[in-house]
Amino acid sequence: MDLSVVEQVALLDAWIAEGGVAVLSGAGLSTDSGIPDYRGPSGSARRGSPMTYQTFTSDALARRRYWARSHLGWRTIGDARPNDGHRAVARWQSSGLLNGLITQNVDGLHQAAGAHDVVELHGNLARIVCLDCRELTSRTELTARMDQANPDFSAVATGINPDGDVELDDAELTGFTVVDCRSCGGVLKPDVVYFGETVPPDRVATAFDLVESARTLLVLGSSLTVMSGRRFVLRAVREGVRVAIVNRGVTRGEPYANMVIDAPLGVVLPNLASETDNHRFVNTVTVSKYK
């Protein structure tokens, strides 16, 4: 890290050590876990058009195409493990420094790192919902059923998105069988927000509450290109909450931020977590000494 970044990290460490931090994480936080982002250095653009809710529910062929691709993509998402960035955030939470944790990601890696009470804006790929009876089941169960229904499916993905969708030639889809809800025979869908859907209002309200009651909004690994994430930065500014962004590359939140650190999260966050631990240790020793 160059000197200017080192100085910024030192200041950000002081902000985090004060507590009251609301974290908003994006796809860039998971790149070190092997999941590419949409617009950053590992994924300059999304591979293929995203599935929309309207297409998924109305077009059986498109739904079959989606499930074949997603079935392959889950092998990467499901096997991914938390990286040092996820662990750093979990350490801040366990130390009582976080006011809340909001993520745009659907990979569940914050929880796998030990975090809790995560506001998952866009849901989680590990859950499956029936669009008819609304029953929730696990992705593990669905994967086993899909494997059983498609014993000869041996397609190979050529690229993957953070939402688990992959690139796949249509010729590889021949004979792929989609399974339905075991309880009612209804249509199954990953419990995530598709394009054309809206984030549940109670989820958004919870996230806004966390931002408004924070001292610092810390954005990690998000370009803030879409309003889904940027609205929380705008709300923080409106409420007088300072904004710090750590991200590789351009971010649309820069005009509103008090600090922008353009550096690898896998370097910055472990350093920050270590410095914050040291900061708190020194303060604890000092307070104890003069009691």
**Catalytic (active-site) positions:** 122
Euclidean distance between CA atoms 221 and 33, whole angstroms: 13
Euclidean distance between CA atoms 27 and 181, whole angstroms: 30
Q: Nearest to residue 35, comparing CAs of 3, 100, 89, 83? A: 83
Q: For 129, list phi and psi in degrees, rounded to 5.
A: -120, 140
For the beta sheet containing 118-120, the strands, ordered from the edge strand earlier in sequence to the opposite edge, are 118-120, 98-103, 21-25, 216-220, 242-246, 259-261
Euclidean distance between CA atoms 160 and 164, whole angstroms: 6
Q: Which amino acid is at 40?
A: G
- Classify residue 168 by its DSSP letter: -
Helices (H) and strands (E) in the chain, counts: 9, 9
- CB count within 10 Å of CB 127 equals 18
Distances in Å between the alpha carbon of 226 and those of 11, 12, 156, 218, 253?
28, 25, 31, 17, 10
Residue pair 12/259 in contact (Cβ under 8 Å)? The answer is yes
